[in-house]
Structure 1
Amino acid sequence: MLQSDTTTLSIQLNNFLHRIDCKATIIALVNQYNCSLKRIRRSKNWLLTGQQSQLIEIREQLQQPKMAWIAEAITKGLPKPSFDLVAIALSEPGMTINRLIKETGCTLIEARRAIDKAEGLA
C-alpha cells in the first residue's frame, strides 16, 4: 500500500548554498512545481517543501552531477512503499532473498522472515 502523494513533505538540504552553482536555477525549478525552498533560520541549511508527487518531479529534473545530491536527499526523504513480503514470496515460489531485497528495498532480516513464513518454516 503506497502512501498518498498529497502528503506535504519537507526535505532538509544541508549546506545548500555552498554545494550549488546557481541558487536562482534551483529556485526557478522549485517554483515551477509549486514547491517552496526556504532557509532554515540563519543556518546554512535550507528546507524544500512540497507534495510527494511534486518532489518526485523535481528529483527527475535534477540529473546534472552537481545537483545529484539534491535528488538523493529527496529520495531519502520520500516515504518508503510498504509491501506484503510474504505474499510476494508466496506468489513466486522460486523467489530468492537477494531478489526480494532488490525488488522491494526491504532489509535482509525482513526478506529472510518473509521467505521462511512462505515456506512454512516460521
Structure 2
Amino acid sequence: MDSERISVSLPSFIHRVGREQANLTRDLASELGCELKRVRRSRNWQLLGEYHQIHALSLALRSLDSLKHKFTIGKLNTVLAQIEPPLTIEQQLAKLLETNPNITLAEMMEVTSCTLSEARTARFENDTL
C-alpha cells in the first residue's frame, strides 16, 4: 500500500503562534519527516507529510506545551480525524479473506503487494479461526 502525502492548511500561522513557535514547529516537523512551508508569498502555511508522521508531530507538540501549540494541534487533529489510518498488510489480508474466503494466494499478493509467506500466514490464520 502506497503512503499518501497529506496536506494540512495552516492559515495565518505566524500571526497565530509567533515566529519562535513557528520555527520550533518547523524544526520538529523536519525531524519527523514532515515539511512545513509557506504557501507562495502569502501568510498561509502548509504542512505536508504522511499519516504517521503528522500523528507523531501532533503527539510531540502536545508533549512540549499544548497551550502554545493549541492552534497547530487543533488543525492537525481535525485533519487526522477526517482521514482513516492506513491498514497494515496483515489487516488488509484479513479484511480481504473476510470478504472473499475463496481468493487465491496469487490474487491476494496482487491486491495487497504482499509476499507469498505473508499471504500463506494470513490464509493459515483465517482457516484456524
The TM-score range, normalised by the shorter chain, is: 0.5 to 0.7
User: What is the aligned residue count?
Assistant: 79
Asked whether the equivalents of residues 17 and 71 of structure 2 are also in contact (C-alpha less than 8 Å), the reply is no
Write out aligned runs for 1:1-122 (5 A).
Answer: 6-21=3-18, 22=20, 23-63=22-62, 64-78=66-80, 79-81=82-84
Asked whether the equivalents of residues 6 and 48 of structure 2 are also in contact (C-alpha less than 8 Å), the reply is yes
Please give the secondary structure, in 2, of the residue aligned with 1:73.
helix
Deviation readout 1:55-103 (Å, 9 max, x if unpaired): 0000011122121211111111123449xxxxxxxxxxxxxxxxxxxxx
What root-mean-square deviation, in Å, do the aligned CA atoms of Structure 1 and Structure 2 show? 2.0
- Unpaired runs of 5+ residues, structure 1, are 83-122
Larger Rg: 2
Deviation readout 1:3-58 (Å, 9 max, x if unpaired): x7922100000111111231221111011111101101111110000000000000
TM-score (ref. length: structure 1) = 0.58
